Chains A and B, each alone.
Chain A
Amino acid sequence: MNKDEHENTESEEIHRRLRESDRANLTTDPPTMGAWERVKLARHPDRPYTLDYVDMIFEGFEEIHGDRRFADDPAVVTGLAKFHGQPCVVAGHQKGRTTKERQQRNFGMAKPEGYRKALRVMKIAEKFSRPVFTFIDTTGAYPGIDAEERGQAEAIAYNLREMAKLRVPVIVTVTGEGGSGGALALGVGDQILMLENSIYSVISPEGCASILWRDATHAQQAAEALKLTAQDLLQFGLIDTIVPEPEGGAHSDPREMGDVLGAYLSDALAAAAALGDKERVERRYEKFRVMGEFEELSE
C-alpha cells in the first residue's frame, strides 16, 4: 500500500506541529487531570462521534447495513470509504446527538447484530485486501433480554477470535468511552490509539462502585482506582498511541480534532501496512499475548 499521506502537505504539516506539542504535553508533563474529569470529557454530549470522524477524515462513505441474520443495529455504523484515496472499511459505535437519535441508536449500546454486522464488513475488507478502521465509543454492550437471547456474549467472543485472524491492517481508535467487552469487540487490531481524554475500562466506574463499594455514588473513586485513562493504558502497554486533543477536549474544536486524528491514522496505517500479511497477524498475536501483569514463583 502506498503512503498517500506524504503527498498531502497539509496533513504533514499538522502532523509535525502536533507531534511537537504531543511531546511537550503528554510525555514530559505529568497528567494534570483526574480520571473523573477524563470520564466526563469522554462522555461529553458534544464530543465528536464516529460519523463525525468519518465525515472529517474519510471520503466517499457508503454505509453498509445489517448482519444478514436478524437486523440492522443503528448503534454500530459500518461502511466503505476512502482514506487519502485508498479504499477501506470503517466500523464504529454511534451514539445519537438528539434525544430522538439517541434512542434510535440505543445510546451507542450495540446488540449482537451490531457486532455481527461489523465483523461481516471486516471480512469483506479482508477478502478484497482493504484496511479496516474501527472507532470505539460505547458505554458497553446492551444489557437486555433480546440481546441475551440472540447471544450477546457469543457475538463479542466471535469478533475477538476472528479479528485476531484478519489478514488486513486493522487500526483501532478509542474516541470516547471504551466500555468493557462491548468496546473490545471492535478493538482487536494492529495499532491501538486512544484520544487523550477517552477512557477504556473493564467496567464502568458506576458499575464498579455499585459492586465493590455497594454504592454507585463512589463512581469517582472507582474511576481513579480502575486506571482507565489513555495514560494508564499506555503505561500498562495495552495501547500504542495517545492522540492529543485540542485544548478543552475534542468537542471544543472538532475540526482540529479531525485533522489531528487523520494524521495519526495515516501513521498507524503506514506502520501496519509496511508488514506482510503473515507477519502482521503474527505481531498482532504477540501484541495481545504479552498483555497482563503477574509474577511467577519458582516451583
Chain B
Amino acid sequence: MSSNLESVLGRLESSSYRLSVDHGLIDILVGTVLVAFGLMLHADLGYMPVIVFFVGATAYPSARRRLIDPRIGHVRLHADRVAEIKAWKWLTFGVLLTAIFGVLALRALGWIDYPESAVPMIVTGCLALALAIAAWLFGIWRGFVWAAILFAGGVIEWRFGLANGLSWYFSGGLVVLAGLLMLARFMRANPPDAGDTDDV
C-alpha cells in the first residue's frame, strides 16, 4: 500500500513535470543553439551561439506564456524540485566545460595526442555527452537521440573531411524540425482554453 501510494504520488509529480516540458519548445531552442554552433564553426561567426543563447533565454519564457500556458495551464513545482533542476543545469554546463577544456588541456600538456583536424569532432563529442547527461537528468529521453545524431554527424564530418559545422547544421535542423512537429502536435491536442480561467 505505502509503496503503491508513493508510486502514485511520484507518477503525479512526474506527469506534472512532463506536461510542462513535453511541448517541443525546448527542442526548438536546443536545435537553434546547435545551428548557431554550426554557424560559428562553418561561417566563423564566433558570437552567434552567445546571441542565440541570450535571445533564446529571453524568448523561451515569452513563447511559453503565449503558446503553452493558455493550453495546459501553469504549474509551479516544489522548491526542492526547482533547486534540483537548477543544480542539474549547472552540472550539465560543468560537464560540458570540463570535457572540452579537459581534452584540450590534456593535449596541450602532451598527455594525449590527436590531430588538429579532430578538434571540432572532439568538441562535438563533448557537447553530445553534455546533451546526453542533460537528457538523463531531466528525464527527456529523446535528448539521447539528439546526442547520438550530433555525435554521429561529428564523426562523419571528421572522417570524410567535410567542412566544419555541416553536421551541426544537420543535427540542429533535425532537432528544430522535430521540435516544430512536436509543438504542432501539442497545439492540436491541447486547444487554447476558450473560457475565462477565473472560474472559482
User: A and B, one complex?
Assistant: no
Listed in ascending order, the chain B residues whose CB lies under 8 Å from chain A are none
Listed in ascending order, the chain A residues whose CB lies under 8 Å from chain B are none
